[in-house]
């Protein structure tokens, strides 16, 4: 969510969650669930480290305000987090030590030197996150030199996943070459959940599972169960990260766009049944639609909610050239079956899946953004492609961001700089306040909903974010900024903008709850005023202000209506006809 919105509140949430996970992790228990969970925990931690050290190095020295990190010590004094003040970089360094020691332990206890994994694919795939993220850092930062072998292990892991494995069953001594990924005639992949090796150790199944009914495992177990929709989400981490690291390093990794399109087709052609308008259980499109039956080979009903986590594959919809596409399938399912259920792992949405949905919407849709109650204690930019609204009283209860407040207010503290950027309008509702000494700016971006990249590129003075598929630089444009450094007044008056393209007339419709002076200004896309209309004080009631647009050439324009220190802004397009 931070990479999508660049709201540092998500970084603070992540840090607090990571500290709790480490403090209370029972890492001394080495069994399949522990191994599985270790990979899933290390993956996002390594992602954070890579973000701070490589993607956005300016975060490294950025101080975290005191009181925002809520560390709860473990009952066992292990991995104690220092109580001193921190930057995002010092947190990354501490998390790195935790990742390194756990990865080193896993490599010794779980894998032999040749990486002959004794667990199923989905239990090992998430380890590609820390292996590839930290391994890549070893190539660009000498402080991570000890992680050089991680990159080799991650690359080998990716190669094994895509390769043909000559495997020997330890019980029967039979050899069976078995490709992990199998290409189906429809251009998709399917694979067995056991993946690259038979999950046995001295003829004893490594994990206690209700799906194993034989006390003496044999080769047939390897091909008994095709990977299901839910567990495949974890497996996808491996090819996605290998594909991403190839973009970073230019190295020869086995997952190119061609392979990623096949994974995309797995979702659209196998897991999704257009005829049933439902998800199938396996990556081969078998076992029928989901049900609430928890019997053998039957998918649990809530497993299909994991489909949200397949959303990143929407980036390969265009290359696949077939319909329906990932984005439409998931958005239709989300809107019809899920929203607004709470985000949780069992019985509803998943936090990770919802984050991927938001990320895709951020790039594909002309979205509005509403901010609720909050006390801003660090510099922060907010952006929306269409309308950005600050509505402190719009959602009752505790604030989402730390420090937690319960009052209906959005406060920008002393010494804090905040920018509010939108394509059509920035709206401040009652409860928005600035403390003297703060700096607040509202900006209307002329590109607005034409933006095809994420929020960071919308901050035109900051670093650009280039979409991997369609690289483009942030445009150099003039923007109209409204200085809100002084405390902004609030009002409950109503303003509407009506545009008649045929008659070339615009109407500003006002409903005033108290008498006030009004000023209306039209400006072009570069912020140059083309019409100004001061209005004498108006009494309480409804008023229509007519604006003749005959003299305007074709283009994008903004109508700004001042009734106090902050304008309400409306974007419109003037045509010649």
Q: In three state form, how does the secondary structure of 316-346 look? A: HHHHHCCCCCHHHHHHHHHHHHHCCCCECCC
- How far apart (Å, rounded) are the C-alpha atoms in residues 87 and 81? 13
What is the pLDDT at residue 294? 38
pLDDT at 311 over 90: yes
- Report the alpha-carbon distance of residue 31 to residue 24 in Å, rounded: 17
Q: How far apart are CA 396 and CA 406, in angstroms?
A: 8
- What mean pLDDT is predicted for residues 225-233? 82
pLDDT at 249 over 50: yes
- Asked if residues 217 and 211 have their Cβ atoms less than 8 Å apart, the reply is no
- Note the pLDDT tens digit of each residue in 120-150: 677 788 888 899 899 999 988 999 999 988 8
Average pLDDT over the chain, rounded to an integer: 76
Residue from 478, 459, 485, 267 nearest 381 by CA: 459
Chain-centre distance of CA 331, in angstroms?
Answer: 15
Buried b (16+ CB within 10 A) or exposed e, 470-480: eeeebeeeebb
The 10s digit of each residue's pLDDT in 43-66 is 999 999 999 999 899 999 999 999
Identify the pLDDT of residue 313.
Answer: 97
214 has pLDDT over 60:
no
pLDDT score for 356: 93
According to the model, what pLDDT value does residue 484 have?
Answer: 37
The tokens 């087709």 sit on which residue? 265
- DSSP letters of 459-519? STTS-----SSS--PPP----EEEE--SPPP----EEEEEEETTTTEEEEEEEESS-EEEE
Beta partners for residue 412, in sequence order: 376, 434
Between 30 and 108, where is the model more confident? 108
pLDDT at 248: 57
Q: Which of 63-72, 141-150, 312-321, 465-474 has the lowest mean pLDDT?
A: 465-474
| Cα separation values, 111 from 38, 51, 104, 209, Å | 14, 28, 10, 21
Per-residue pLDDT tens digits for 495-533: 888 888 777 888 888 888 788 888 888 887 666 778 887
Determine the pLDDT at residue 351.
Answer: 83
Query: Is domain 491-577 annotated with CATH 3.30.70.100?
Result: no
Q: In sequence order, which residues have a C-beta less than 8 Å from that of residue 66 and are 6 or more positions away?
A: 85
| Confidence grade of residue 72 (pLDDT, cut at 50, 70, 90) | low
Give the dihedral sign, CA 455/458/460/465: positive
Using the structure block, give the residue that is written with the tokens 């300016």: 58
| pLDDT, mean of residues 18-47 | 74
Query: Which pTM does this prediction carry?
Result: 0.72
pLDDT at 25: 65
Cα–Cα distances in Å, from 171 out to 59, 202, 214, 217, 545?
53, 7, 13, 8, 86
Of 97-106, 175-184, 550-559, the one with minimum mean pLDDT is 175-184
Highest mean pLDDT among 26-35, 61-70, 77-86: 61-70
Q: How far apart are CA 186 and CA 266, in angstroms?
A: 9
Q: Is the pLDDT of residue 452 over 70?
A: no
Average pLDDT over every residue of 316-328: 94
Distance CA 306, CA 345 (A): 9
What pLDDT, on the 0 to 100 scale, is given for residue 495? 84
Phi-psi category of 570—alpha, beta or left, where left has phi over 0 and alpha has psi -120 to 50?
beta
Of 285 and 114, the one with more pLDDT: 285
Using CB atoms within 10 Å of the CB of residue 492, give its burial: 0 to 12 exposed, 13 to 18 middle, 19+ buried: exposed
Measured CA to CA, the distance from residue 339 to residue 254 in angstroms comes to 37
Structure tokens at 576: 């010649």
Question: Residue 187 pLDDT more than 90?
Answer: yes
pLDDT of residue 215: 39
pLDDT at 234: 87
Cβ atoms of 272 and 279 within 8 Å: the answer is: yes
Per domain, the residue ranges of the chain are 366-490, 491-577
Q: Quick one: pLDDT at residue 383?
A: 92
What average pLDDT does the segment 89-106 reach? 90
- For residue 284, the model assigns a pLDDT of 83
The top-scoring range by mean pLDDT among 135-139, 174-178, 472-476, 534-538 is 135-139
**Strands 439-444 vs 417-422: parallel, antiparallel or unpaired:** parallel
Contact 262, 189 (CB under 8 A): yes
Q: Which two tokens stand for residue 20?
A: 């709790």
Contacts with 477 (C-beta within 8 Å, 6 or more apart), sequence order = 445, 446, 447, 460, 525, 526
Judged by average pLDDT, the poorest of 24-28, 524-528, 536-540 is 24-28
pLDDT of residue 35: 72
Give dist(CA 385, CA 321) in Å, integer: 27
Is the pLDDT at 267 greater than 70? The verdict is yes
pLDDT at 213: 34
Q: What pLDDT sits at residue 370?
A: 94
d(CA 299, CA 415): 54
Give the pLDDT score at 287: 60
Residue 493's pLDDT is what? 72
Find out whether 571 and 558 touch, Cβ atoms under 8 Å.
Answer: yes
Task: Say what the pLDDT of residue 114 is.
Answer: 45
pLDDT at 261 over 90: yes
pLDDT of residue 170: 52
Q: What values do phi and psi take at 206, rounded to 5?
A: -65, -30
DSSP H helical segments within 126-236, as ranges? 128-137, 148-162, 219-222, 229-235
The overall longest dimension of the chain from CA atoms, in Å, is: 94
């Amino acid at each position: 969510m931070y990479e999508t919105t660049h709201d540092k509140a998500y970084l603070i949430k992540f840090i607090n969650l990571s500290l709790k996970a480490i403090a209370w992790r029972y890492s001394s228990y080495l069994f399949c669930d522990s191994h599985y969970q270790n990979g899933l925990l290390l993956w996002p931690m390594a992602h954070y480290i890579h973000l701070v050290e490589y993607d956005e190095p300016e975060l490294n020295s950025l101080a975290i305000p005191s009181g925002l990190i809520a560390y709860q010590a473990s009952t066992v004094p292990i991995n104690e987090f220092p109580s001193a003040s921190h930057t995002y970089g010092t947190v990354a360094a501490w998390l790195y030590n935790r990742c390194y020691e756990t990865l080193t332990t896993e490599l010794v206890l779980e894998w032999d030197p040749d990486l002959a994994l004794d667990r199923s694919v989905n239990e090992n795939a998430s380890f590609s996150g820390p292996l590839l993220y930290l391994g890549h850092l070893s190539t660009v930062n000498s402080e991570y030199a000890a992680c050089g072998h991680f990159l080799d292990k991650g690359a080998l892991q990716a190669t094994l996943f895509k390769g043909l494995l000559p495997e020997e069953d330890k019980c029967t001594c039979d050899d069976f070459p078995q490709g992990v990924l199998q290409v189906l005639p429809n251009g998709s992949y399917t694979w067995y959940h056991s993946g690259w090796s038979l999950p046995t150790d001295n003829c004893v199944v490594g994990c206690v599972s209700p799906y194993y009914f034989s006390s003496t495992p044999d080769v047939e177990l390897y091909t008994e169960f095709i990977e299901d929709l839910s567990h495949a989400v974890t497996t996808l981490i491996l090819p996605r990260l290998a594909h991403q690291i190839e973009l970073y390093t230019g190295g020869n990794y086995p997952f190119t766009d061609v392979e990623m399109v096949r994974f995309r087709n797995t979702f659209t052609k196998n897991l999704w049944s257009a005829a049933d308008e439902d998800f199938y259980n396996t990556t081969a499109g078998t076992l029928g639609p989901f049900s609430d039956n928890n019997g053998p080979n039957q998918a649990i009903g809530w497993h299909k909610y994991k489909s949200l986590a397949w959303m990143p594959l929407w980036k390969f919809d265009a290359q696949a050239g077939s319909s329906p596409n990932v984005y439409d399938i998931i958005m239709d399912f989300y809107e019809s079956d899920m929203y607004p259920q709470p985000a949780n792992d069992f019985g509803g949405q998943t936090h990770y899946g919802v984050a991927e949905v938001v990320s895709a919407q951020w790039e594909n849709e002309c979205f509005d953004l509403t901010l609720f109650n909050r006390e801003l204690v660090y510099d922060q930019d907010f952006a929306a492609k269409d309308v950005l609204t600050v509505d402190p009283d719009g959602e009752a209860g505790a604030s989402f961001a730390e420090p937690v407040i319960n009052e209906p207010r959005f406060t920008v503290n002393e010494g804090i700089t905040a920018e509010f950027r939108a394509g059509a309008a920035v709206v401040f509702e009652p409860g928005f306040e600035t403390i003297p000494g703060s700096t607040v700016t509202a900006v209307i971006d002329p590109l607005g909903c034409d933006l095809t990249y994420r929020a960071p590129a919308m901050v035109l003075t900051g670093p650009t974010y280039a979409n991997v598929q369609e690289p483009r630089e942030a445009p150099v444009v003039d923007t109209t900024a409204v200085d809100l450094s002084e405390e902004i007044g609030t009002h409950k008056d109503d303003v509407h903008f009506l545009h008649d393209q045929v008659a070339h007339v615009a109407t500003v419709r006002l409903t005033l709850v108290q008498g006030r002076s009004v000023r209306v200004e039209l400006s072009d896309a570069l912020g140059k005023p083309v019409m100004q209309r001061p209005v004498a004080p108006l009494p309480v009631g409804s008023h229509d202000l007519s604006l003749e647009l005959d003299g305007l050439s074709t283009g994008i324009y903004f109508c700004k209506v001042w009734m106090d220190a902050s304008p309400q802004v409306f974007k419109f397009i003037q045509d010649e006809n």
